[in-house]
Chain A
Amino acid sequence: MSANPTPSPAAPPPQKETFTVIFDGRPIEVPKNINLIEAAKLAGIDIPHFCFHPRLSVVGQCRMCLVEIEGIPKIQAACTVPLKDGLSVKTTTEKVRSSRAATMEFLLINHPLDCPICDQAGECTLQDNAFGYGQQLSQYDEKKRQFPTFDRTMIGPNVIADMTRCIQCTRCIRFCQEIAGTSELTFLDRGGRTLVWTHDGSPLANDWSGCAADVCPVGALTLQEFRFRSRVWYLAKTKSVCPGCNVGCNTSVESKEGIVYRFLPRLNPPVNDYWLCDHGRLLAESLNNRDVHRATARNGQAVTDVIVPIGIERIGEEIRKTVDGTGPSGLFFLGSAHLSNEDNFLLRKIADQLSCPNRDVVVDKARVRKIKSVNGWVEGDEAAANFRGARDMGLSPAKGGYGLEAVLSGKASPEVVVVADATFSAMADNPEKVAAVRRARFLVVLAREANALSRAADVVLPATSLAEKEGTFTNVQGRIQKFERAFLPKPPVRAHWELLLLLANELGYGSRFWTPSDLLREIAREVEAYRHVKEQELEGGILLKKGDFAWTGQP
């Protein structure tokens, strides 16, 4: 009970940056400011736990992370033991084993064990720890506790509660208090009747309610969107970036047989940390929407299916005809904030190749979305992920050129318009704006979902969703982040960069063997702010450097 810190042995004058902690006799150097459970992880030791979460306050109440500490007779919850130099931790003794088994038994006596109908099965900490640290049998032979009126109940707009499965770890309560700051959830009653619910029955309706389900180690809180859609072990996980806004939260795209089932947040401390907002999370299934299955070309009134190379050839012809006639000023290229840096870079290179200064990219402004990173809130107010990257790639009117505004207002009347993404903005479904663009003699659109713009086009090329291609986005912080391909598109659908590369080749730029990696290398070569970007180092994202023209200062 001494208030005095124990003097460290030998006490060398230079302050060490780390502590030496001994795990089962093996010393390891660990940073000073982490939890013992995290320190153990660095030592390659798994300490099972439920209530501990690296970003939430330590409550030490699940009593699963029990370890022995040299010099303390009683067994200790590892998460509550302050790190100090020379701390000796034993994780494999018989006392540790039996204590953890005891906690597992207590947790399971009232758990319904309805894994066959529980969505969490397969990614359930209770299952994992029961297999890893529990025992086969229990002598519990009584009636199990149930919370019948709190099962299969929407606790908020996006989350379903099954409170009979709850193990009272309070992670969801602490998430709402400490991260979301909205404090909807609380413990009701006490003892064996302890129940997690909202204070007065009001809904769990904050912008990050899905994260409460994420941090739930069991199936007590699950996402309504994903409920009963798929067993999680069938889902492939692909590293991706959320398309919802320009914050660029790192996600895992979870898919099976060419269908996206859900997004989960993927840890990236300076961006989204462990979190993902509901707006972004619920976009997952929109990636499955597809109206445009093949390339089409208009001949007079008739629209016919064509193969992609024929479509490309046709575009090439029209462009060349215009360049030969009116000159490059008769062309207009519109990029998109929904597309990757590679896509937009290719579009700009096509314009460069033709010496056309008329290029642009626009973005819809949206409600401000926020996510809590380790450095505080990151905010984004754009409806697309990559406006900044598209601008960086050079998609703004060059000297002597015009932008979309001029086209829409009629000040400029291009003969050929190439729109790299049919859903670049809500404008694309606005008949008046589409009519303004349609004044061009020839309109090319790359599309996945049909809208007024794609229906008006002369050539439509079938393009992929985010899940079917790879590339990079640049977020509001100026961080270049890579997203990977979850699955191949169904032919003849191709990635935007593939379609644009075919067109570039047709017009004499680039190699037909280029991949997104080559394009990123080209970007690093040609775009001054991106000169230090290397694909191999993209894990976690590369921040643009201070002083670069694209750097705007949000850390």
Chain B
Amino acid sequence: MERVLLKRVGTPNSRSIETYLKDGGYEALRKVVTGGMTPEQLTEEVKKSGLRGRGGAGFPTGVKWGFLPKDSKKPIYLLCNADESEPGTFKDRLLMEEDPHQVIEGVILSAYAIKCKTAYIYIRGEFYDGARILDKAIEEAYAKGFLGKDILGTQTSIDLYVHRGAGAYICGEETGLIESLEGKRGQPRIKPPFPAVHGVFGCPTIVNNVETLACVPHIVNRGAEWFAKIGRNEKNTGPKLYCISGQVNRPGVYEAAMGLPLKDLIFGQDYAQGMKGGRKVKAVIPGGASANMLTAPEIEDCPLDFDGVAAKGSMLGSAAIIVMNEDTCIVDAARNLSKFFSHESCGQCTPCREGTPWLYTVLHRIEEGQGRVEDVDLLERICNQMANGMTICVFADAAIAPPLSSVKKFRDEYLHHVEQKRCMVGPKAALVSSEAAARRGGTREGTVANAPSPSNQPESART
């Protein structure tokens, strides 16, 4: 497939407005605001294109815009969610850093479609370069009259600001993002009311992912039909960026039509070009840390789109494909991800605040050869107690995905850990720590004290 979103990425001066303009940039904006399309027509066009949110949930973008109350007296806000922090995801960063004007044009067009006068790009705090590049690009866009008062001499006025986060994964959740943008602690809100009715500053608000918004100029330029024709079926349309990482030959961001078979992404010559050292695939996380793991047989015929991955019991999420080879200790992988989640829980809901560190501690103990047979069932029980409505947002549902799916699919490996007190595969498989050896078959006493629980203790700065 031809490159759409990544067309200019990797070319010289891809960030400058001149490059973008030479490539037909801001033509979509000119076409729309100078009378080509009304906001309603643009929304209808996006609906027809079948564009679904690229941030993770895959909610149809046009439908989401349609939730805005008609004739609201309050101002409407558009927030571009650039808080890309799902482990394994690095596509939005590429779009913002390498082709910022494509994102900005998408934001302006979408703001026009929802009659928004003020839009924000909420960018992850760690993306210092991205924020700097966007700021410069926005300045250029203002100078050319694509932003600000009376865009291109028309009645349309839109302002765009970059707002940097302060380093919290939860601020990628849309209501957490809104709270953070308001200057409060980043904590998800209770829904309803939904942001479309009561969002930032109490006003109707739409939150869209960077990649989602970057698709909008192409829909305008080439038509909804063109966009809808790309992809596996009419429900999963358009070009899609896939982030692949792990033990593959060529990790990175690849653009393909929605529904690219997972096997092609891992083994295709145009993509990751197979496993490093020819090792076998053991497990794949298809949609970022929050997605359930897939086993090698499950990836055989898995189209990478929202419905295709869902059919396998996982989710496309942010399309962050993490590939693990046969030497990967699955308990270690789950422990790693659990540490992330226990660090990032916002701490307002009891099950998540208390459950995520507990999960990490138990996984840590198992991995370090101090697990007990009942720990495997315990992991499942903790997971089942945390999710499905037990918390305000779906963070807890995400946090349980790695341990729960890995226990389900690699139970024998967990049992090997608790019985043999060491890894089944990987570099540590042959090693038996002296501690573990001394304790193997021994009493339980002492094991617990040795399992550190860093995430469970206040930071040392406090003491």
Residues of A that sit less than 8 Å from B by CB: 1-3, 58-64, 66, 74-77, 80, 82, 99, 102-103, 105-107, 109-110, 139-143, 145-150, 167-168, 170, 186-187, 189-195
Contacts and interface: CB of A to CB of B under 8 A. Distances in A.
A150 B69 CA distance: 47
B323 to A, nearest CB: 28
B204 to A, nearest CB: 9
B253 interface: no
A101 B385 CA distance: 9
Contacts of A190: 168, 170, 344-347
A2 B392 CA distance: 19
Contact of B389 (A74, A107, A142): A74
A347 B368 CA distance: 83
Given A61-B348, A103-B350, A168-B348, A191 B391 contact: no
A191 B353 contact: yes
Given A109-B358, A142-B358, A187-B185, A63 B350 contact: yes
A99 B390 contact: yes
B115 to A, nearest CB: 16
B343 interface: yes
B448 A193 contact: no
B346 A191 contact: yes
B353 A149 contact: no
For B344, B385, B449, the residue with the greatest tally of chain A CB atoms inside 10 Å of its CB is B385
A149 B460 CA distance: 11
Interface SS of chain A: helix, strand, loop or mixed?
loop
Contacts of A80: 190
Contacts of A102: 351, 385-386, 390
B67 interface: yes
B448 A142 contact: yes
B410 to A, nearest CB: 22
B190 A59 contact: yes
Contacts of B185: 186-187
B390 A58 contact: no
24 contacts: A1-B196, A58-B190, A60-B190, A60-B392, A61-B350, A63-B350, A64-B350, A66-B389, A106-B353, A106-B355, A106-B358, A142-B362, A142-B448, A142-B451, A143-B453, A149-B463, A168-B350, A187-B185, A191-B342, A191-B344, A191-B357, A192-B455, A193-B458, A193-B459
A246 B67 CA distance: 53
Contacts of A143: 448-449, 453, 456
Contacts of B355: 106
Given A99-B390, A193-B455, A168 B351 contact: no
Nearest to A79: B190
A106 B387 CA distance: 13
A150 B459 CA distance: 13
B373 to A, nearest CB: 12
B192 A82 contact: yes
Interface in B414-463: 448-449, 451, 453, 455-459, 462-463
B73 to A, nearest CB: 15
B11 to A, nearest CB: 40
Contacts of B361: 142
Report the interface size class on chain B: 35 or more
A187 B353 CA distance: 13
Contacts of B389: 66, 74-76, 99
A148 B170 CA distance: 28
Nearest to B347: A194
A75 B391 CA distance: 9
A117 to B, nearest CB: 22
Contacts of A149: 462-463
B354 interface: yes
B233 interface: no
Contacts of A59: 190, 348
Given A75-B390, A76-B389, A141-B448, A189 B458 contact: yes
Contacts of A148: 463
Interface of B: 67, 69, 168, 170, 185, 190, 192, 194, 196-197, 342-351, 353-358, 361-362, 374, 378, 381, 385-386, 388-392, 448-449, 451, 453, 455-459, 462-463
Contacts of A74: 388-389
Contacts of A58: 190
Contacts of B362: 142
Contacts of A109: 354, 358
B354 A3 contact: no
B357 A106 contact: no
Contacts of A105: 385
A423 B349 CA distance: 52
A191 B343 CA distance: 6
Contact of A106 (B346, B351, B388, B451): B351
Q: What 8 pairs between A and B have smallest CB-CB spacing?
A: A74-B389, A194-B347, A102-B385, A192-B357, A191-B345, A106-B354, A75-B389, A61-B348
Nearest to A164: B458
B5 to A, nearest CB: 28
B354 A192 contact: yes
Contact of B453 (A99, A107, A142): A142
Nearest to A194: B347
Contacts of A103: 350-351, 390
A192 B451 contact: no
B18 to A, nearest CB: 42
B378 A110 contact: no
Contact of B196 (A3, A60, A145): A3
Greatest chain A CB density within 10 A among B390, B451, B463 is at B390
B318 to A, nearest CB: 21
A300 to B, nearest CB: 70
B357 A1 contact: no
A150 B463 CA distance: 9
Given A75-B390, A193-B456, A195-B462, 16 more contacts: A60-B392, A61-B350, A74-B388, A102-B386, A102-B390, A142-B362, A142-B448, A145-B458, A148-B463, A187-B348, A190-B345, A191-B344, A191-B455, A192-B357, A193-B458, A195-B458
A232 B448 CA distance: 37
B401 to A, nearest CB: 17
Contacts of B449: 143
A32 to B, nearest CB: 17
Nearest to A139: B378
Contacts of B448: 141-143
Contacts of A3: 67, 69, 194, 196-197
A438 to B, nearest CB: 62
A107 B354 contact: yes
Contacts of B349: 61-63
Contacts of B381: 139
A189 B347 contact: yes
Nearest to B396: A63
A142 B362 CA distance: 8
A192 B456 contact: yes
Contacts of B354: 106-107, 109-110, 192
Nearest to A58: B190
A516 to B, nearest CB: 49
A401 B105 CA distance: 88
A190 B344 CA distance: 7
A190 B349 CA distance: 11
Nearest to A148: B463
Residue among B168, B192, B389, B391 facing the most chain A CB atoms (10 A cut-off): B389
